Amino acid sequence: MNLLLKGRVPRSSTNFHSNSLKGSVDRGCQAPRIVPRTVHYTDPLAKAFVAYQEMKKKAMVVDPKVIAATPKVISSTLAEPWKVVTVPESELAALVAMLYHGLEYGKPLYNIAPQKLPSNTNPYDANTLPLEDQLQSRKPGEGIFTNVATGPYGQREFKYLYLIDFAGMHIIREMTPCDESSRGIPLHSMIKSRGVVGGEIFFDDQNPGVAYINFGSARFTFQDSVEAENASKFILSLGYDKIVAVYQERDFSKAPYDMNDRYGTSLANAVYVRESL
């Protein structure tokens, strides 16, 4: 008996071999399968840039050119000041003598408050580079701001934003176009990365030695009327004769400073004047 002729190949092996060949042929004839590809950004900077572009489309609602072209509105009105403070020249001289270098963590600057990071802001509006060359800055004793638009308190086209930090006071006109801002105009968080207190300032149309300020920064807020008073004295020490500060004496931790405090009719205000006048 020829065992080689009589031997049988296991059926399962034959089927496996033929099925394997058939599968190979079928796969060779099929068209390549196209899988849709979605790009996922893993680089944090790339993801942030894409999110920033989308955010700008939705959030940029202020057009400085349109606002500048609109008729002037009636300005806010001020009530009789609830107090008038005569500031001694010695106190102003002490502010001039204060020199700070660096961040001075935890230390009240110019008797106002310690520096802090901006609050209530999105991370895309914390870039200070776009405004760096457009700021005007002054330290105590360096003189008043020049080449500024002047006009009544409350009219937006004359409004400047201000921020005080260890290097002094920095201002920029609010209606300055700024493509890097989500709103199309400067924000307090774009002036400096840290600050003591911020708000809005208007320069008197008749007297360059008079300025009107409020504390309407949601990013660099003030805590109480003591900080408001010391900030007013600081601005007076730049070289102004009179500062009209729009605020009232109350506990702002319980009733925050809001739009009704800084705009409208019969606004509460305190006046600070130099002793030498």
Distance between CA atoms of residues 172 and 156, nearest Å:
13
**Nearest CA to 173 among 135, 133, 221, 128?**
135
State the pLDDT at residue 172. Answer: 98
Q: Given CA atoms 247, 249, 252, 256 in this order, what sign does their dihedral have?
A: negative
State the pLDDT at residue 5. Answer: 45
Is 50 exceeded by the pLDDT of residue 86? yes
State the pLDDT at residue 247. Answer: 97
Whether 203 contacts 230, CB under 8 Å: no
Confidence grade of residue 117 (pLDDT, cut at 50, 70, 90): very high
How many Cα atoms within 13 Å fall on the side-chain side of residue 131?
A: 31
Confidence grade of residue 160 (pLDDT, cut at 50, 70, 90): very high
**Nearest CA to 83 among 242, 248, 230?**
248
Q: What is the per-residue pLDDT across 214-255, written as a single tens digit (0 to 9) for each? A: 999 999 999 999 999 999 999 999 999 999 999 999 999 888
State the pLDDT at residue 36. Answer: 53
CA 148 to the chain's CA centroid: 21
**Nearest CA to 91 among 236, 240, 269, 249?**
236
Q: What is the per-residue pLDDT across 17-66, written as a single tens digit (0 to 9) for each? A: 445 444 444 545 555 555 555 555 567 777 777 776 666 556 556 777 77
State the pLDDT at residue 142. Answer: 98
Give phi and psi for 259, each to the nearest 5: -60, -35
Beta strand 160-165 pairing with 197-203 = antiparallel
Q: Looking at mean pLDDT, say which of 48-52, 56-60, 94-98, 104-108 comes out highest.
A: 94-98
State the pLDDT at residue 214. Answer: 98
Distance between CA atoms of residues 9 and 7, nearest Å:
7
pTM: 0.78
Distance between CA atoms of residues 158 and 54, nearest Å:
31
State the pLDDT at residue 84. Answer: 98
Share of the chain above pLDDT 90, in %: 61
CA 184 to the chain's CA centroid: 12
Q: What is the per-residue pLDDT across 122-144, written as a single tens digit (0 to 9) for each? A: 777 889 999 999 999 999 999 99
**Nearest CA to 64 among 146, 183, 202?**
183
Number of Cβ within a 10 Å radius of residue 224: 14
